[in-house]
A and B are shown apart, each in its own frame.
Chain A
Amino acid sequence: MNFSEEKPIYLQIADWLCEQILLGRIKPEERVLSLRELASKLEVNPATVLRAYDMLQEMNIITCKRGMGYFATNEAMERITGLRRQRFIDEELPKLFHTMKLLHIDIGTLVGLYQNNSSEL
C-alpha cells in the first residue's frame, strides 16, 4: 500500500478497511486482521493501526471481543454506506459542481450522461 495522500495514515487505513467491507472481502461478524497482522502487512507502526481501529470501533464498524480480536459488526455495511454518502455529498459533489461551473457544463448534460452510463451498467 502506498501512503501518498496528504491524509494521515490512520485515516487511510480506516478507509482501506471500510473498502474491504464494502467490497464484501470482509463479511459482517467476520474477524478482521489483528493489529500486528495488519501493521506487518501494511508495514506501519502497530500504534497507527490501533488508532484506526479505535476510530472504527467508535463508529460501530468493528468491535473488539476480549481475547478474540476485532470483528466487523452486523451493521458495518450500513454504517459505512451512510458515512460514505455523507462524504460524497459534503466533499466530492462540491468539487464536481465547481468543475461543472468552470467548464460550463449544465445539469441537463450531466443527467443525459448519467442516464446513458446507467443504461450501460
Chain B
Amino acid sequence: MITIKNLTFGYSKQKMLFNDLDLGLQEGHIYGLLGKNGTGKTTLLKIITGLCFPQGGEVSTMDYPAPLRQAGMLENLFFLTEEIFIPHLKIKDYVKANAPFYKHFNHEQFNEYLSLFDMDNQNDYLTKMSLGQKKKVMICFALACNTPVLIMDEPTNGLDIPSKSTFRKILAMAADEGKTIVISTHQVRDLHSLIDAVIILEQGKILLNADIDTIARQLLFKVNEDNNIDEADILYKEESLKGDVVVAINKEHQESKVDIELLFNAVMNHPQKINEIFHA
C-alpha cells in the first residue's frame, strides 16, 4: 500500500532527518508509528501524503508517486493532522463542502460516530468548540471517509477519558482488511489493543517494522518471578511489585502479551540485537 525506498530528507543540509530510509506498509493493519520527540514521525507522514517532497528516493502511496499528489491518490487517502485547520463553518456545512472529495464517504457512519461522541447537533459552529470537540468532529469525518489509507497524527491528544474509549470503539468498527491505518502516537496505552503492527523510528532509521504476532513469536514479555530467564537474553527490564518485568528473546516459544511501551524501551536499549532478531 505504501512503499518508501532510499528516502532522503532534511529541513536543512547540515542536519538530515532521513538518510536512505526504507519502509513498506501493507493493508489490513493498524500501524502504530512510534519514536521519540523530534525523530521525524510527522515529517514521515507528510512525505507519505505528498505534503513534503523527498530529496532523494521514491515514495509511493497506493502505487501513486506521493509527491505528484494525483487526484487518484488524494481521494483514497485521509490525513488527520495533529493541529487541525478549522474553518468558520457549522458541522453540517463542513461535511457538505468536504465530503464530495471522498467517493466512499458515508453520511450514516458520520452521524453514528458523532452521536457515539455525544455530539448530535450538526448546527454547531466548529470554531465555537473546544479543541477536544473539534478533534472529535475531525476523527468522525476521517473515519467516515472510508479511504483505503488513513493516517492519523496523535489522534487521542486533547480527548477526554470517555472519548478515548469511544475513539477505540469507532476505530475497531472502521478497521478492515482493505485498509491501511497508520497512527503516530506517544499515548501507546490509549491504543495498545488496537495497534497490530509497530513501526519504530529513531535517528532517521526504521529500527523495527513488525506485526504484533511476529513480535510475540520473537520476544517474551513477562514478570521474571523465578529469575529463570537467562540474563543474556534480556533486552530490557523494569522493576515492579511482582518482580522484574522483562522483555527477552523468546527461546522457549512461549506465548505472551506484547506490551508496546516495554517493546519501545527494549528497541531503544538494544537496536542492534532487535535488528538481528527480526531480520534473521
Contact = CB atoms under 8 A, between A and B. Distances in A.
Nearest to B254: A6
A46 B172 contact: yes
Contact of B255 (A8, A42, A44): A8
A11 B169 CA distance: 20
A120 interface: no
Contact of A7 (B172, B194, B257): B257
A57 interface: no
Interface residues of A, number: 18
A46 B176 contact: yes
A7 B257 CA distance: 5
Nearest to B259: A6
Interface string B213-257: 000100001110000000000000000000000000000000111
Contact of B165 (A3, A7, A43): A43
Interface of B: 28, 30, 165, 168-170, 172-173, 175-176, 193-196, 216, 221-223, 255-258
Given A45-B30, A47-B28, A6 B172 contact: no
Nearest to B196: A45
A90 interface: no
A75 to B, nearest CB: 26
A9 B135 CA distance: 29
A48 interface: yes
B67 to A, nearest CB: 32
A45 B256 contact: no
Contacts of B196: 45, 47-48
Given A40-B170, A43-B193, A45-B193, 18 more contacts: A3-B257, A7-B255, A7-B257, A8-B216, A8-B258, A9-B257, A11-B255, A36-B172, A40-B169, A40-B172, A42-B172, A43-B168, A43-B194, A45-B30, A45-B194, A45-B195, A46-B172, A47-B175
A16 B193 CA distance: 16
B256 A6 contact: yes
Contact of A3 (B30, B193, B195, B223): B193
A64 interface: no
> Which of B193, B195, B255, B256 has the most chain A CB within a 10 Å cutoff?
B193
Nearest to A43: B168
A91 interface: no
Contacts of A6: 221-223, 256-257
Contact of A45 (B169, B172, B257): B172
A38 to B, nearest CB: 9
24 contacts: A3-B193, A6-B222, A6-B223, A6-B257, A8-B257, A11-B255, A36-B173, A39-B172, A39-B175, A40-B169, A40-B172, A40-B173, A42-B172, A43-B169, A43-B193, A44-B172, A44-B194, A45-B30, A45-B175, A45-B193, A45-B194, A46-B172, A46-B175, A47-B196
A11 B256 CA distance: 10
Nearest to B222: A6
A48 B176 CA distance: 12
A9 B256 CA distance: 9
Contacts of A41: 169
Contacts of B170: 40
